[in-house]
Every structure is written in C-alpha cells, then in structure tokens.
Chain A
C-alpha cells in the first residue's frame, strides 16, 4: 500500500481515537456510544500498520483491492451505527410516550360545574382550555 495512504489512514484513525477519548472526558459522549467508534478506529489502525493482515482479509473475503475491503468494513460500520441509533430512537420514543401519558394523568380535568371527588383540585385546572394555541 502506498505510504501516503498509510499515513492518511493512520492519522485518521488516531484522530478518531483522540476525539472519542476527549468527548468522553468532557462527558459529551457516553461511554456506551464510544464502543463502536473505538472499535472502528482500532481496526483501521491495525490494518494500516499491519498491511499483510489487510491483504489476508481481502483475499479471504474474495475482494480484489485492499481499498474495497476498507470501504466494505467502513460501510458495514455505518450501517451498524445507524441501526443502533434506530434502536435508541425507538427506546426514546417509548419513554417519551410514557412521560406524555404521565403528564396527562397528573391533572385530569373534571367536568364543568362539578367538584373533584378525590381531593381538592387546583383552581386553574378547571379553567377553560386554549392557552396552548
């Protein structure tokens, strides 16, 4: 592999590693999200330094160019990351729904002209709606 592309990939991998560590240090990135990033950076670093490994992997998966092996794993990584985000979004949506329901359940409004029969209700709850429009 060309020395220039080797320097580029090693530099890129080291950059990603440093950024991930720094983001975790500043608590901008949770540890659990760093796993995929660190794994990828280490993989790129490994195959850049140890080129014969990349050549072996390329041969093993039947690819012709080592560059396409790197692209393939890069794409795979992106897809796994996106799937991971979809899972997180689904879980966030579930939590949001539960919260929305709790907010609704916290102040159920009594019919007009009736007093609450289970404990005193704050007066503003019974006011006609329309504030949020």
Chain B
C-alpha cells in the first residue's frame, strides 16, 4: 500500500471513469486510486473496479462535496500522507499532478490547486455568466487571502493529510466547495498555492446552469459572509 491516494468522485460516469482511472494509474504510479461512486445508477463502480481502482460506494446520491469528503475520511483512517483529487468526467489530466505534488512535498504549501486560468492562454473558456461569477468570487477570495486566487472551483488538487483531516469535519460543504472553503483554509492557517494546468472543456452538463447559477451566487455570498463572521478555527484543534 502506498501512502499517496488519489480520490476520484464519480456520479454516473461509466463512460469516462475507466479512462480517467487508467490515466491516473499510468501518470501517478506511486498513488493508490480510489473512486467514490456517489450512488450512481449505472455501472460506474464495476467499470472503475475493472479499470483497477478501489471503489467506495455511497448507497444514495449525496453530492460532490459529500463524495469528496468520504474520500478524505478514507484517506485519514487509512493513514495516507498525501491526498490528491481529480474529477471523473475526463476534464482533468493526471499528468500535471506531479507539479502540484512537488509544492506540497517541498513544504511550500499545505494544499495546491490546479488552475485553468493561471496561464492566461485562454485554453479554457467558460460561459459568460459563469465567467462573471467565477471572477467575482476569485476576486473576493484573493482580496481576503491577500494572494492571487484564479480558479477557486477547481476540483484538481493535492493536499497534505492534515488538510484532509480538516475537511473531514462539518466545515466541508455538501455541494460544491468553492472560494468559501479557500478563505476558510486561509483563516485556519493553511497555506494555499496554485499551479497552472490544462483542462479539457466539459463535454456534458455544467454544474452551474439555469436557476442553479442564481442559487450558486446567493450561496457563495452567504457562505463567504458567514465564514468571515465565524471566529477563525485553528488547525490541529
């Protein structure tokens, strides 16, 4: 058993999960691969197992954040030192993970986020509405954290085990972790860093569409507000 784990949350991804797992296994030989099957109705779990991943199946669909948190809980209980995460829809490519890992391993950051926008080459073009939302919240996060945050919604991350342990508590959101969780990390004394990565454009559904995008904007404002109103929690409390 390795002491590095890559967590891949998946919901109805039987079409993509095999190639994502194969990519992770090929690019990250030192990592154990854990797919979180978030109550999928299709064969995601069987396909992932066949591709060589360990599978943690949630009995009911519980949301992206809950699936990720299950992975952190697994990692903490099994004693992994490093936890990486990437999405199962094929947007993320595992080849950039070593660059993120290097920053965690040399001790310059506790958590490293892979950013689509940091290199500013425009390879990734979100919809206009989403772009506005993203830029407002990354600007707020950058201001509060006094460091440049370009892609707070990225699910492409590498973290130390103590960050994973911190995420195991009630602080972690059930739906989509975003700028609010980065602000919380900063206020709790963790060091956050970003590395430019390339991502493929999403093929299917977007998580912020229609009425959900209005709720998303509302939720982020509220969440950032209450995060700022709460007393800062110290890490290793």
Contacts and interface: CB of A to CB of B under 8 A. Distances in A.
Given A129-B46, A133-B41, A100 B54 contact: no
A104 B56 contact: yes
17 contacts: A97-B174, A103-B59, A104-B57, A105-B56, A105-B73, A105-B74, A108-B55, A108-B74, A109-B49, A111-B50, A111-B52, A112-B50, A128-B46, A128-B49, A129-B43, A129-B45, A129-B49
A94 B170 contact: yes
B184 interface: no
A101 B46 contact: no
B54 A104 contact: no
Interface pairs A-B: 9 shortest CB-CB: A109-B55, A129-B45, A104-B58, A101-B70, A129-B46, A111-B52, A104-B56, A108-B56, A128-B46
Nearest to A102: B73
A117 interface: yes
A100 B70 CA distance: 9
A111 B66 CA distance: 22
A43 B212 CA distance: 43
Interface of B: 1, 34, 36, 41, 43, 45-46, 49-60, 62, 66, 69-70, 73-74, 77, 170, 174
Nearest to A117: B1
B69 A101 contact: yes
A104 to B, nearest CB: 5
B98 to A, nearest CB: 23
Interface of A: 93-94, 97, 100-101, 103-105, 108-112, 117-118, 128-130, 132-133
A121 B18 CA distance: 24
Contacts of A112: 49-50, 52
A94 B59 CA distance: 15
B69 A130 contact: no
A101 B58 contact: yes
A110 B59 contact: no
Nearest to A97: B66
A111 B57 contact: no
A111 B51 CA distance: 8
Nearest to B74: A105
A103 B36 CA distance: 12
A105 B77 contact: yes
B228 to A, nearest CB: 21
